[in-house]
Amino acid sequence: MKNEVNYSREHLLYLSGVKKKTVWVNVIRVAVLVLLLSLWELSAQCNWINPFITSSPSRILKAIAELYENGTLFYHVGTTLWETLVGFFIAVGLGYGIALLLWWSEAFRRISEPYFVVLNALPKIALGPLVIIWCGTGSGAIVFMTVLIGIIVAILNMLNGFMATDENKLLLMKSMGATKLQILTKLVIPSSLPNFISMLKINVGMAWIGSIMGEYIVSKAGIGYLIVYGGQVFKLDLVMSAVFILCILAALMYAAVALLEKSVIKNR
Amino acid sequence: MKEVLRFENVSMHYHSKQGETVALQDVSFSVNEGEFVAIIGPSGCGKTTLLSLAAGLLSPTKGKVYTNGGSFGYMLQKDELFPWRTIEKNIFLPLEIKRADTPEHRARALALAEKYGLSQFLKNYPSSLSGGMRQRAALIRTLSVDPDVLLLDEPFSALDYQTRLSVCDDVYKIIREEQKTALLITHDISEAISVADRIFVLSKRPASIIAEHAVAFPETEPLKRRENKEFSRWFELLWKELNV
């Protein structure tokens, strides 16, 4: 807010010191990446390692270019991205709703607690064959898997946030004569916003696990499909390329949530 | 004088798996309109229970609480301003809750805020205000629905000593100026003496009333009262009563 403050020389030095440090961290981060990639490339070029098994940055780029040229790159990326996003939003939305119901009714909460504990501990991948039979072999099965993996975490995280509402603020609302619905909309939901954001962050990861795992089990397209297919036919360049694309997509989605966080939680 | 609140042989029992706790035992007292009444008692003696009973948030196990149809405003230890709302929105909160969020009521609340020096902070978030200002905003929030009786649950105890004295002075003046009835619950003897017209002393748990005093000072302002010679005499008396 106050841009026109005249800082002392010491403070300016301190500020430039802080800035320098940040710059250095960034420079070294990039340098590490460049170093690792060039070492990888060099080792492959000089045949210190077998590029057929380990692939190499140049081969990865070539594989991605090939995918692009035969027109399937965006098809696969789009398929997985669609499944992930749909699964993500269903898991988050449904999870939020169920957590609200659990907050609302103590009876429901107490009765369902052991079920959620077990469902949370259960490795959802074990339900793979059932998912195929119930939802077929299309995108539906993969979205279902994504939802399955994300929803329990979403419910438990949100419920935690709702239940952590400050006791004194609850007392204050009650003393004003607030109804349960008013307490929910004016206190519980806004005060659990940080939990909502952290739940979104966790669920970004969950959604990618869900969609890729779903594609491992059953798929005709997508990044997970490319990884499995590449592994089966020993095209490790393809596997590496798919993983590389996955890294970028996951980072972008996380960045989107982080951006949302910045815009929502600025006043706390 | 009109009674606005009366406790008649009120007892309060709490039940838990570990057993039954008697928080209040046969408590009787009354508060008249326009009075500033303080109730002091040792920590953990059931003071907050008493206020919750007065506000109607709890119903007594035995006895009766008469409120004469008046409305209550509650002020807690911390300001409990919602950090995601601006000061203005915080002040409007009770209006929203009571579904009285009309332009007239808003204007009244804003007039109060302006009268007591909050107008420049209305669009700010609570985090940018000092502790004293926040507590003042909390008082204006309580007053925004024009309650008949203010219930003050150790409203200054979260503040540091300096701020506490001035905020206490501040709150006292506002309450007097708005001609409100107030019931203050505290464990701070000097705070009670500096603001109250009458003081009730509660015993340890199970709490019951062991003494009642009408406090008369020529001065009305808390800080001035503290300078009066009588002040330390009152302090000693209440101190002894609390520690029997």
Residue B99 Rama label (left phi>0; alpha psi -120 to 50; beta): left
Determine which of A25-39, B159-173, B187-201 has the lowest per-residue pLDDT on average: B159-173
Closest to B5 (Cα-Cα) out of B68, B75, B89: B68
- Rounded Cα distance, A146 and A195, in Å: 21
- Mean pLDDT score of chain A: 90
Q: What is the CA radius of gyration of chain B?
A: 18
pLDDT at residue A125 tops 50: yes
- Rounded Cα distance, A178 and A169, in Å: 11
**pLDDT, tens digit (0-9, with 9 covering 90-100), for B94-120:** 999 988 888 999 998 999 888 888 888
DSSP A224: H
- Mean pLDDT score of chain B: 87
A7 versus A194: which is more confidently predicted?
Answer: A194
Which residues in chain B touch residue A176, judged by CB atoms under 8 angstroms apart?
74, 93-94, 97-98, 145
**pLDDT at position B241, please?**
85
CA dist A42 → A35, A47, A150, B128 (Å): 10, 8, 41, 56
**In contact, B86 and B122? CB cutoff 8 Å:** yes
* Cα A222 versus chain centre, distance: 17
Nearest CA in chain B to A180: B97
Stretch B12-17: mean pLDDT: 88
Which residues in chain B touch residue A182, judged by CB atoms under 8 angstroms apart?
96-97
**In contact, B101 and A192? CB cutoff 8 Å:** no
**In contact, B208 and B25? CB cutoff 8 Å:** yes
- Whose structure tokens read 């039979």? A133
Give the ipTM.
Answer: 0.86
**In contact, A109 and A163? CB cutoff 8 Å:** no
Other C-beta atoms within 10 Å of A47: how many?
8
Transcribe B39-71 into DSSP letters. EE--TTSSHHHHHHHHHTSS--SEEEEE-TT--
B161 versus A190: which is more confidently predicted?
Answer: A190
Q: A267–B80: do the CB atoms touch at under 8 Å?
A: no
**pLDDT at position B100, please?**
83
The confidence band for A1, taking pLDDT boundaries of 50, 70 and 90, is very low
DSSP B207: B
Helix (H) or strand (E) holding B171, with range, is: helix B161-177
| Cis preceding-peptide flag for A114 (omega within 30 of 0) | no
Residue B64 Rama label (left phi>0; alpha psi -120 to 50; beta): beta
Tell me the nearest-neighbour CA distance from B82 into chain A, angstroms: 8
Percent of chain B with pLDDT over 90: 17
A228 Cβ contact list (under 8 Å, min separation 6): A215, A216, A219
Q: B57–A174: do the CB atoms touch at under 8 Å?
A: yes
**pLDDT at position A266, please?**
65
DSSP B127: G
Other C-beta atoms within 10 Å of A61: how many?
13
- Rounded Cα distance, A106 and A86, in Å: 31
Amino acid at A113: E
**pLDDT at position A4, please?**
55
Instruction: Give me A78's structure tokens.
Output: 């789009």
Which residues in chain A touch residue B98, judged by CB atoms under 8 angstroms apart?
176-177
Instruction: Give me B16's structure tokens.
Output: 């838990």
Q: Are strands B62-66 and B72-75 parallel, antiparallel or unpaired?
A: unpaired
Bridge partners (DSSP) of residue B31 are B5
Amino acid at B146: D
Range picked from A75-79, A99-103, B47-51 for highest mean pLDDT: A99-103
The confidence band for A252, taking pLDDT boundaries of 50, 70 and 90, is very high
Stretch A42-55: mean pLDDT: 89
Determine which of A46-55, A69-78, A181-190, B219-228 has the lowest per-residue pLDDT on average: B219-228
**pLDDT at position A208, please?**
93
Instruction: Give me A121's structure tokens.
Output: 């501990």
B208 versus A164: which is more confidently predicted?
Answer: A164
Q: A267–B96: do the CB atoms touch at under 8 Å?
A: no
B78 versus A154: which is more confidently predicted?
Answer: A154
pLDDT at residue A33 tops 90: yes
Q: Is A72 exposed, middle or buried (0-12, 13-18, 19+ CB in 10 A)?
A: middle
Tell me the nearest-neighbour CA distance from A93 into chain B, angstroms: 23
**pLDDT at position B38, please?**
92
**pLDDT, tens digit (0-9, with 9 covering 90-100), for B120-168:** 899 999 998 888 889 889 989 998 888 888 999 888 887 788 888 888 8
**In contact, B193 and B186? CB cutoff 8 Å:** no
- Rounded Cα distance, A242 and A237, in Å: 9
Does A173 contact B at CB distance below 8 Å? yes
Give the number of beta-carbon pairs within 8 Å between A and B: 49
CA dist A251 → A60, B14, B61 (Å): 19, 53, 59
Of B52, B57, B84, the CB nearest to A268: B84
Stretch A159-164: mean pLDDT: 95
Closest to A224 (Cα-Cα) out of A122, A47, A84, A48: A84
Tell me the nearest-neighbour CA distance from B169 into chain A, angstroms: 23
pTM of the model: 0.83
Q: A174 φ, ψ to 5°?
A: -65, -40
Q: B84–A171: do the CB atoms touch at under 8 Å?
A: no
With an 8 Å Cβ cutoff, the interface of chain B facing chain A consists of 52, 55, 57, 72-74, 76-78, 80, 82-84, 93-94, 96-98, 125, 127, 145, 151
Handedness of CA B166, B168, B171, B176 (dihedral sign): negative
DSSP B156: T
Of B78, B83, B94, the CB nearest to A168: B78
Of B52, B97, B151, the CB nearest to A178: B97
- Rounded Cα distance, A72 and A213, in Å: 21
The confidence band for A268, taking pLDDT boundaries of 50, 70 and 90, is low
Q: In what order do the strands lie in the sheet with B19-32?
A: B19-32, B3-16, B62-66
**In contact, B198 and B37? CB cutoff 8 Å:** yes
- Rounded Cα distance, A119 and A149, in Å: 10
**pLDDT at position A196, please?**
94
Amino acid at A258: A
